[in-house]
Structure 1
Amino acid sequence: MKLSPHSLALISLTMVRLAAIERLPIEDFTREPDTTQARLAPDGKAFAFVRPHNGLSMLHVADLETNQVTRLDLGEGIGGFTGRKEVYDYRWISPTRLVITTTLDDAIFGLIAVNRDGGKAKGIAGYERDRIEATLTAPFMREIVHAFGDKDQSILLLNRPRHPNRPEIVRMNTLDGLSKTVVKNPGEVAHWGLDFDGVARFGILTHGDLSGAIYRASEKEEWRTILPLQNRRGQFRLSGYDRASNRLLVTKLNDQRRWAVYPLDPETGEFGEALLSDPEYDIVPDRGLSGAAGVTLAGVIFSRHKQALAGIRYYTESPRVKWFDRDYATRQAAVDKALPNTVNILVDESHDGRRQLWYAFSDQHPGDYHLLDTAQKSFKPLAPRMGWIKPAQMAPMHSIKYTARDGLVVHGYLTVPNGHPPKGLPLVVMPHGGPWARDTWGFNSLTQLLANRGYAVLQMNYRGSPGYGDDLFQQARKEIGGKIQNDIEDATKWAIAAGVADPQRIAIMGMSYGGYSALFGLGRSPGLYRCGISFAGVTDWPAIYEDSDVSENKDARRYWREQIGDPEKDLERLRNASPANFADKITAPVLIIQGKKDRRVPQDQAKRMIAALEKAGRPPESLFLADVGHNYGDPKERLQIYRAMVGFLEKHLGPGVP
């Protein structure tokens, strides 16, 4: 993988203007991908993928020998629930059987085991199993940690019967749904590590800020402590077991407080030198990085047939990989030579290693899947993700850095309309949601739509975004409306000072926490932004502690109190950080978009903001969508949202560059 986003410092401000790019239909940016979340069967003879069917995301299986495609039926909403039932995730558990995690109206519904031909379907967990009326927030087993591929099509799952952070391991027959506990939690194990045979060999202990480890050499031996509970500057995490060298791989903080990968001798409990470390970036952040196609962008890669470490995928300003195995490095080089204009990621491989599924994408390319067959010495395309998109018509995405007012270096991305230098452009500032998430380099439909309409788009990974070290992540604690907002505002001022943005034509918009940031920015710096859009943005923090689905989850409530603030102890600060309480400071036009089925940020939040703006004499434009939750909905609903956004910007920010 050798393609990277250009640094803005390298962009010529006198670049030759390319031929005009046509104004594409909004529908091109709202369609669901034809093929996404693809994974290879363990025998390499088929691959599964998600594709829309009647407006719903459904799982399909393609036979690589016959080219026959089978759609797997999920059944109807049951047990008193009605709504849109779709695929959330899935896993091959044998060459002939898969387990599917389903959702119903954005809430995790349950697990279904089904053969690749659609036969022998069995609900094995959640409401797929019990089919009873209950709340969709009840916990159930859904984390698969091993698949045996035996005659019973058995799997191992994590069960959390007494405490969410003290899992036990359950073995389940997916043909009849019967299960039994095979590993009980001795008390303080938060994470289990299994070998390639499915034997739990390693457990990470946690107690507050303390962490430690237990280990056993086989299933018959007793557990012994190899690392006593101590404060290790952050809890370390298990990344896997390398049987070839008999060592555990763990992720822990290095001297620069960046997450790095280290070997751990299970017999002595001693750490070796870091296998991969970086002074600026986390190698494997404690929060996952996923691309648009569900591809994991950071993690340790193991070869199943060699039962050994193959490489480490990590993320700097774009995806990268370090191979430790020569065979994998050779194949990466061959794929990169065949596909020189994309980042090429190994997604999956057959258990014997002879067939590999590769995903190729870039900032302007939404992605294609390819099959590498080492036995046949062939490399061929399987399916495009969004075949109607022409990469040459899409806009480039450049990495940027700027220094916040307190000296913190913040990373981000600038997407520039195709054929234009980054100078004096109408700019849309688009902070991400979360706030404990991040933007990544790659194809983004909304960003590309805005660029196609002639707007530059600025995205910043403000403090609290994973991937840039523990210090930057921790500096976001209780900084909503504070230093996080400073980072967003400083990004806007950087774009002005660098000459990228026309200072009279800057908008701010976002979804979820990004929508909150847009409203806050409009009120805090009314002269900085020409207009703003909030989609599902928080407007009243004290109220959302009671209204949101987070109120139904004990651990989520605790995390919000630690990271955002305690609604009792920090009530005044939370009120001051709520845009509904300073709507009179907002002078620019506002568009508020809200899904009526949103349980994370309920529609009452939008109504509070609208009422406050109306009271201030500046009623906003608004769009409420009946069947949308905390997302962009289906293609028809997404079309409504994107049309409203583009129409609002063209009306209040003015048309983009030609």
Structure 2
Amino acid sequence: MNNFKARFAGISLGTVALLSTLPIHAAEVLPTEFFSKFSEFHSVQLSPNGEHIAVTMPRGDTTGMAVLRTDTLELVTASQLDKDMHIFDVEWVGDDKLVSGVGYQEYQSEQPINYGEIVSFGASGGDLRYLMGYKGRPDTSKIPGTVYLGWSYLNNALEDDPNKVLVSACAWASGELCHWSLYELDTDSGRRKRIIRAPQLGSGSFVTDAQGGIRYFVGETENLVGVRFYTYESNERSWSQVEFNGIQDASPVSYDPDSNRVYLTAVGENGLRCLYRTTFASDEVDEVICHDTVDIHSLDFNAKRTRPIRAHFQNGRFESVNLAPDLEEGSLLEAIAQRFDNALVRATSWSDDGNLFILYVSSDRNPGAYYLFNRSEKQARYLFSRRQWIDPQQMAERRPIQYEARDGTPIHGYLTVPPGAEQPWPLVVLPHGGPFGIRDGWRWDPDAQFLASRGYAVLQVNFRGSGGYGQSFRDLGIRKWGTEMINDITDGAQWAIESGVTRKDNLCIFGASYGGYSSLMSAVREPDLYQCVVAYAGIYDLRTLNRKSDTGQFSRGRNYIDDYVGDSDDELLKHSPMTYIDALKAPVFIVHGINDARTPYKDAKTLRKALKKRDIPYEWFVRDREGHGFRDVTNRTDFYNALAAFLDKHLATGDSATN
């Protein structure tokens, strides 16, 4: 617990500090650790009575939880798990108890893995209580067992019974295609009771109201990229699949029992994800709000979470719309947001009476700060920042950009510019991972900010296949991994040269996962464009996806590969950088985790062997006990330093970059 006390020792209360757009001037080089360290705080949840705040806090190789007094931020209690164990999905159950899931950090994974364990904590102290999971106790004649061999996650707490929560669970014995069930779980005894089974096999989620009434089930399709929508008929205890008129891939976000309205996001006839409303069991919908260019990004809700009151769209920078001018909450959030210049402002957690709520404020220069707003006092109070050591005024500006690809498709992206330097800048093209449904956005990005702090401009483009720009734009990337998607990245680099952002002989390309793949593929397709390549956790022979990657170990993953990448070895080879390695001219920095299950280490070794054979210069940065992306902060710091040294060898910076 002393570790948590030390964490909060430097935090002081203060009134709202408005973000500034003052010009940034050149300053001392910031420590690499500023960018390689993870956030100090993750989930921040206000208790129903508003008297306490629960905060999850990564610390080294574990994530613990602290409970603070709302008025003073005094530490009330803290819970910390064993090495490589992480608390996540924390939810208050009444005012005195919290329930959460437990994940395990394994070497092959980038994020902690959930093995279905659920635990509870006393808000004022007391021991952790094991409620459900494979380490639980067996049944006895007097005490219900807590052992459960399967996946599970917290669905929601019950408003009318503070000792009960709803849990979705699926036994491991059911095989690859789980048959999920919804359980009622007693947080005192660990006793659980099954309520209903899902209407289909495979992953999905139950949607219930605050009283535990079952409303919907949303299930994934076999190729993992679509959904099926079911309503529950309580009188008949049966499910009915619903196909809404004019929309697809519907996902419910809230239910208002007073009006019997269901709010949901869905893909409309324009191909964009928008907000709609309907009534229970109806197949007709009304559009609430839709953007002309981008999908809906996120929503804020009223205190009871029954109605969306604010919508956010990421169209370059964020655009926010008040959905509830008739409610005080909607108008209040709009007024607060206007006080924070050029930032995304969200209401993330409310007290039950609606008087207190947590504000989360972030931007391209601000990694995220939390405030507490008191409606009766009309005051926002600063609580803490996710990365306390980051000064937003020392960070680089992130500019939205747009250009046309060679076939006329509009491509959006971001240019992060080095503070205090004049263009043309040395440029790093940084394609994102994924690739489908993922996008780069207007946010604080540690890779881009680190590179900008070392004098490099960073170009990140949302090539076709990326998320956020509608289903049609995403689908343009189907089976185009090594062709049109790469063309979009290349056209972005050419745009930067023609726009004077950089010189034609002063750019490199760096990416991780699909970004590592696309960096190498871009360099073999355009061997004279880039001065160097950084290939991090990439896959370079796409046949590996089916043969060795964890993606190809299950039928749904193989369906995804067949549908979205290629369904034959010939097609996979056509899109593989190793097929064209003889064309490569640029030196390569190969970065990989030995335990990577998504893009196996084998491909990194195959690439190194090919470069050696062809006398192409390369550098090698491999770490054991690391998976798909580095988790150890020392390894992350060493990588950033090695990355900067590699780029410095091949790109001109400072005055030499402009001459």
Equivalences for residues 472-511 of structure 1 within 5 A = 472-511=473-512
Equivalences for residues 389-468 of structure 1 within 5 A = 389-421=390-422, 423-436=423-436, 437-468=438-469
- Residue 67 of structure 1 is matched in structure 2 by 73
Q: How many angstroms apart in 1 are the aligned matches of 2:130 and 2:392?
A: 41
Matched position secondary structure for 1:582: helix
Q: Work out whether 1:45 is the aligned partner of 2:45.
A: no
Q: CA deviation at 1:354?
A: 1.4
Q: How many angstroms apart in 1 are the aligned matches of 2:242 and 2:349?
A: 36
Alignment counterpart, residue 157 of structure 1, candidates 149, 159, 167: 167
Q: CA deviation at 1:430?
A: 0.1
Q: CA deviation at 1:525?
A: 0.7
- Residue 112 of structure 1 is matched in structure 2 by 118
Contact 2:424 2:503 in 1 (8 A): yes
Which one is further off, 576-585 or 150-159?
150-159
Q: How many angstroms apart in 2 are the aligned matches of 1:522 and 1:342?
A: 36
- Residue 640 of structure 1 is matched in structure 2 by 638
Q: How many angstroms apart in 2 are the aligned matches of 1:275 and 1:92?
A: 31
Equivalences for residues 133-144 of structure 1 within 5 A = 140-144=150-154
Structure 2 CA distance for partners of 1:341 and 1:247, relative to 1, 3 Å: closer
Unaligned runs of 5+ in 2: 1-17, 139-147
Task: Specify the code of the residue in structure 2 equivalent to 1:626.
Answer: D
Q: CA deviation at 1:398?
A: 0.5
Structure 2 CA distance for partners of 1:260 and 1:500, relative to 1, 3 Å: same
Q: CA deviation at 1:34?
A: 2.6
- Residue 323 of structure 2 is matched in structure 1 by 324
Q: How many angstroms apart in 2 are the aligned matches of 1:18 and 1:251?
A: 39
Q: CA deviation at 1:119?
A: 2.8
Which one is further off, 385-394 or 179-188?
179-188
Structure 2 CA distance for partners of 1:461 and 1:198, relative to 1, 3 Å: same
Q: CA deviation digits over 1:225-249, x for unaligned, max 9?
A: 5x75589664322232122321122
Matched position secondary structure for 2:519: helix
Alignment counterpart, residue 121 of structure 1, candidates 128, 146, 169: 128
Contact 1:40 1:348 in 2 (8 A): yes
Contact 2:118 2:133 in 1 (8 A): no
Equivalences for residues 81-92 of structure 1 within 5 A = 84-92=84-92
Which one is further off, 150-159 or 99-108?
150-159
Contact 1:237 1:250 in 2 (8 A): yes
Q: CA deviation at 1:509?
A: 0.2
Q: How many angstroms apart in 1 are the aligned matches of 2:509 and 2:418?
A: 17
Task: Specify the code of the residue in structure 2 equivalent to 1:424.
Answer: P
Structure 2 CA distance for partners of 1:186 and 1:503, relative to 1, 3 Å: closer
Q: How many angstroms apart in 1 are the aligned matches of 2:292 and 2:424?
A: 34
- Residue 336 of structure 2 is matched in structure 1 by 335
- Residue 579 of structure 2 is matched in structure 1 by 581
Q: How many angstroms apart in 1 are the aligned matches of 2:197 and 2:227?
A: 21
- Residue 263 of structure 2 is matched in structure 1 by 249
Task: Specify the code of the residue in structure 2 equivalent to 1:157.
Answer: V
- Residue 294 of structure 1 is matched in structure 2 by none
Q: CA deviation at 1:204?
A: 5.3
Matched position secondary structure for 1:438: coil
Seq. identity, %: 28
- Residue 10 of structure 1 is matched in structure 2 by none
Q: How many angstroms apart in 1 are the aligned matches of 2:186 and 2:557?
A: 32
Q: Work out whether 1:145 is the aligned partner of 2:179.
A: no
Contact 1:49 1:59 in 2 (8 A): yes
When the two structures are superposed, what TM-score results if normalisation uses the length of structure 2? 0.85
Q: CA deviation digits over 1:265-296, x for unaligned, max 9?
A: 33653222x1001221112xxxxxxxxxxxxx
Q: How many angstroms apart in 1 are the aligned matches of 2:243 and 2:276?
A: 19
Structure 2 CA distance for partners of 1:303 and 1:229, relative to 1, 3 Å: closer
Structure 2 CA distance for partners of 1:384 and 1:521, relative to 1, 3 Å: same
Q: How many angstroms apart in 1 are the aligned matches of 2:232 and 2:161?
A: 30
Q: CA deviation at 1:519?
A: 0.9
Q: How many angstroms apart in 2 are the aligned matches of 1:627 and 1:23?
A: 30
Q: CA deviation at 1:4?
A: 12
Q: How many angstroms apart in 2 are the aligned matches of 1:475 and 1:641?
A: 34
Structure 2 CA distance for partners of 1:617 and 1:591, relative to 1, 3 Å: same
Alignment counterpart, residue 180 of structure 2, candidates 131, 156, 167: 167
Equivalences for residues 18-417 of structure 1 within 5 A = 19-65=25-71, 67-69=73-75, 72-76=78-82, 84-95=84-95, 96-105=97-106, 106=109, 107-115=113-121, 116-129=123-136, 140-148=150-158, 153-160=163-170, 164=177, 167-187=180-200, 191-203=205-217, 213-216=230-233, 219-220=234-235, 222-223=237-238, 225=240, 234-266=248-280, 268-272=282-286, 274-283=287-296, 297-299=297-299, 301-305=300-304, 307-325=306-324, 326-340=327-341, 342-417=343-418
Q: CA deviation at 1:104?
A: 2.5
Q: How many angstroms apart in 1 are the aligned matches of 2:227 and 2:638?
A: 49
Task: Specify the code of the residue in structure 2 equivalent to 1:324.
Answer: L
Q: Work out whether 1:590 is the aligned partner of 2:600.
A: no
Task: Specify the code of the residue in structure 2 equivalent to 1:551.
Answer: G
Task: Specify the code of the residue in structure 2 equivalent to 1:392.
Answer: Q
Q: CA deviation at 1:348?
A: 1.3
Contact 2:246 2:268 in 1 (8 A): no
Q: CA deviation at 1:252?
A: 2.5
Contact 1:455 1:656 in 2 (8 A): no
Q: How many angstroms apart in 2 are the aligned matches of 1:72 and 1:110?
A: 22
Unaligned runs of 5+ in 1: 7-15, 78-83, 132-137, 284-296
Contact 2:587 2:618 in 1 (8 A): yes
Q: CA deviation at 1:367?
A: 2.1
Q: CA deviation at 1:317?
A: 2.2
Matched position secondary structure for 1:443: coil
Contact 2:182 2:195 in 1 (8 A): yes
Q: How many angstroms apart in 2 are the aligned matches of 1:229 and 1:340?
A: 42
Task: Specify the code of the residue in structure 1 equivalent to 2:624.
Answer: A
Q: How many angstroms apart in 1 are the aligned matches of 2:23 and 2:365?
A: 18
Structure 2 CA distance for partners of 1:204 and 1:370, relative to 1, 3 Å: closer
Contact 1:627 1:633 in 2 (8 A): no
Q: How many angstroms apart in 2 are the aligned matches of 1:524 and 1:188?
A: 42
Q: How many angstroms apart in 1 are the aligned matches of 2:137 and 2:320?
A: 43
Matched position secondary structure for 2:150: coil
Q: How many angstroms apart in 2 are the aligned matches of 1:222 and 1:388?
A: 54
Matched position secondary structure for 1:504: coil
Contact 1:404 1:486 in 2 (8 A): yes
Structure 2 CA distance for partners of 1:176 and 1:323, relative to 1, 3 Å: same
Q: How many angstroms apart in 2 are the aligned matches of 1:120 and 1:210?
A: 40
Which one is further off, 65-74 or 476-485?
65-74
Q: CA deviation at 1:310?
A: 2.8
Structure 2 CA distance for partners of 1:477 and 1:656, relative to 1, 3 Å: farther
Contact 1:211 1:232 in 2 (8 A): no
Matched position secondary structure for 1:25: coil
Task: Specify the code of the residue in structure 2 equivalent to 1:584.
Answer: D
Q: CA deviation at 1:319?
A: 3.2
Contact 1:210 1:230 in 2 (8 A): no
Q: CA deviation at 1:608?
A: 1.0
Structure 2 CA distance for partners of 1:582 and 1:377, relative to 1, 3 Å: same
Q: CA deviation at 1:583?
A: 2.4
When the two structures are superposed, what TM-score results if normalisation uses the length of structure 1? 0.85
Matched position secondary structure for 1:235: strand
Q: How many angstroms apart in 1 are the aligned matches of 2:70 and 2:405?
A: 52
